[in-house]
Amino acid sequence: MIRTRTRTKTAKGLVRSVKAHASNPVTVEEVIKGYVPTGSVLLNLALSDKADGGFGLGKMANIVGDRSSGKSLLALSMMAECAHSRNFDDYKLVYDDVEQACEFDIGSLFGKVTRDRVQPPAFDDGEPLYSETVQDFHANIVKHIKSKKPFIYVLDSLDALDAEEDQKKADEMIEAREKGKEVAGTYGMAKPKAMSWILRHIVSGIKKTKSALIIISQTRDNINPVSFAKKTRSGGRALEFYCTHELWLAAGSPIEKKQMPIGVNTKIRITKNKLTGKRRKVSIPLYYSYGLDDIGASVDWLVTVGHWGKKGGKIDADDFDLLATKKKLIRFIESEEGRKSDLDSIVAEVWEEMERSFLPNRKPKYRE
């Protein structure tokens, strides 16, 4: 028998948002339909204050990260959550593998349902056809918008896309060099300009179809002498302007077994959040042969914030009347249906309590 602390909400109630107005509660159905689950309850909460959904439907998000920080696995985990949710049965799940470097065994990692539902943006004689230029990306996403059917579109990654104008300029420069001539001007500026126009053109269509666009970007060293930021990204300022969420991923400490790397602790920092206005940080273990460790991240977080204590190297998970190592605690939660939901409820309660503690103890400036 699991002993749980007295709670102010049921498990279903915990997927509601932290209410801005007590007289206008958000229903469970609205929360689920309005947000895209990420595969991590902690990340969902950090993005939206909701346990069951993080990214907003009708919105754009930009995932920026270092090499091997888990950008693609995070995006695919989100796709898997949608593939297995009845709320997204009518959605097309589009993975635009621009880099054509994703060799993950989708079926093994995320299940047959995910493997069957996640599709490329187009086919050519039965073969997957991915975007090569920003113009291709534009045409592909407009095609889905015009279908008037909702979709989740992941672009992986923007850095691998070129602009047709830059391709043409590069060809001219190569041809001129072969002939011993020079071509005036430079190339490389067409892409930011094109992205600015493209995002402006598609943002209303994404909103109207209640779709979601996730753009993945690689970090680059910032060579701007007047900037304090060490890292930046390509594509210009349009991404920063149009996205609702901006996430920066960094590879933290490696996870090793028998001195072999089997994963990494991915640190996620939310630098833009137009859903709640909050900037939060979370850390999630990521295993190369498993994906995001949602349970492990939740257990670590509950210990870090002091909700669960430690005794002699074991975790005192008093909500479950259990004193055990992390490994045994995770197995206990996985061993019976419903315990994962209990864990999510505990995390959501503690998160909500923590958020309330951040509120300024001030008299409201405006009253109705």
Residues near 325 by Cβ (< 8 Å), separated by ≥ 6?
Answer: 313, 314, 315
Q: Are 211 and 58 in contact (CB under 8 A)?
A: yes
Distance, in Å, from the CA atom of 297 to the CA atom of 336, rounded to the nearest integer, reads: 19
Instruction: Please classify residue 127 by burial: count the beta carbons closer than 10 Å to its beta carbon, then call 0-12 exposed, 13-18 middle and 19+ buried.
Output: exposed
Which structural domains are found in the chain, ordered by start?
A: 25-174+189-293 (3.40.50.300)
Note the pLDDT of residue 321.
97
Listed residue (254, 332, 340, 263) closest to 294, CA to CA: 340
- Collapsed DSSP state (helix, strand, coil) of residue 339: helix
* Strand ranges across the sheet with 291-292: 118-119, 92-97, 151-156, 212-218, 59-65, 245-257, 260-273, 281-287, 291-292
Distance, in Å, from the CA atom of 366 to the CA atom of 368, rounded to the nearest integer, reads: 7
Distance, in Å, from the CA atom of 333 to the CA atom of 318, rounded to the nearest integer, reads: 13
Paired strand residues for 213: 60, 153
Q: What is residue 100's DSSP assignment?
A: -
Note the pLDDT of residue 221.
57
Q: In this structure, how many other beta carbons lie within 10 angstroms of the beta carbon of residue 113?
A: 12
Note the pLDDT of residue 14.
36
Tokens 């990214």 — which residue?
55
Listed residue (288, 313, 293, 291) closest to 303, CA to CA: 313
Q: Are 274 and 245 in contact (CB under 8 A)?
A: yes
Q: What is residue 90's DSSP assignment?
A: T
Distance, in Å, from the CA atom of 359 to the CA atom of 190, rounded to the nearest integer, reads: 45
Tokens 């901006």 — which residue?
246
* pLDDT < 50: residue spans in the chain: 1-31, 223-228
Instruction: Please classify residue 221 by burial: count the beta carbons closer than 10 Å to its beta carbon, then call 0-12 exposed, 13-18 middle and 19+ buried.
Output: exposed
Q: What pTM did the predictor assign? A: 0.87
Task: Name the CA dihedral angle for 225, 231, 236, 241, rounded to a multiple of 10 degrees.
Answer: -110
Q: Are 77 and 84 in contact (CB under 8 A)?
A: no
Note the pLDDT of residue 116.
97
Task: Name the CA dihedral angle for 300, 348, 114, 124, rounded to a multiple of 10 degrees.
Answer: -100
Note the pLDDT of residue 254.
95
